[in-house]
Amino acid sequence: MKLFMVAGEPSGDRLGGALLAGFRAAGADVDVHGVGGPEMAAQGLGSLFPYEELAVMGIAEVLPKYRQLKRRIAQTAQAAIASDAAALITIDSPDFGLRVARQVKAARPDMKTIHYVAPSVWAWRPGRAAKMAKVIDHVLALLPFEPPYMQAAGMTCDFVGHPVVAEPLATDAEAAAFRAQNGIGADGRLILVLPGSRRSEVTRLAPLFGAALQGVEARLVLPTLPHIRQAVVELTADWSPAPLIVDATDLPMKRAAFRAADIALAASGTVSLELAASGTPMVIAYDFNWLTRALVKRAIKVDTVTLVNLVSETRAVPEFLAEACRPELIRAGVEAVLADPGAQRAAMAETMARLGQGGAAPGLRAAQSVLNALG
pLDDT at 95: 84
What percent of the chain has pLDDT above 70? 94
Sign, CA dihedral 137-142-147-149, equals: negative
Q: Which of 62-66, 75-79, 215-219 has the lowest mean pLDDT?
A: 62-66
pLDDT at 63 over 70: no
Compute the distance between CA of residue 79 and CA of residue 96 in angstroms, rounded to an integer: 15
Higher pLDDT, 56 or 119: 119
For the chain, give the number of residues: 375
**Going from the N-terminus, what domains does the chain have, and what CATH number goes with each?**
2-161+358-373 (3.40.50.2000), 172-354 (3.40.50.2000)
What percent of the chain has pLDDT above 90? 81
Asked whether the beta carbons of 34 and 5 are under 8 A apart, the reply is yes
Average pLDDT, the chain: 92
List, for residues 104-151, the tens digit of each pLDDT value. Answer: 999 999 999 999 999 888 777 788 899 999 999 999 999 999 999 999
State the average pLDDT over residues 236-255.
95
Q: What DSSP element (H or E) covers 307?
A: helix 307-312
pLDDT at 47 over 60: yes
- Please, which pLDDT band fits residue 60 given cuts at 50, 70 and 90? very low
- Please, which pLDDT band fits residue 56 given cuts at 50, 70 and 90? low
pLDDT at 288: 77
pLDDT at 75: 96
Residues 6+ apart with CB under 8 A from 348: 275, 276, 277, 279, 308, 312, 316
SS3 300: strand
pTM of the model: 0.84
State the average pLDDT over residues 347-375.
96
List, for residues 167-221, the tens digit of each pLDDT value. Answer: 999 999 999 999 999 999 999 999 999 999 888 899 999 999 999 999 999 999 9
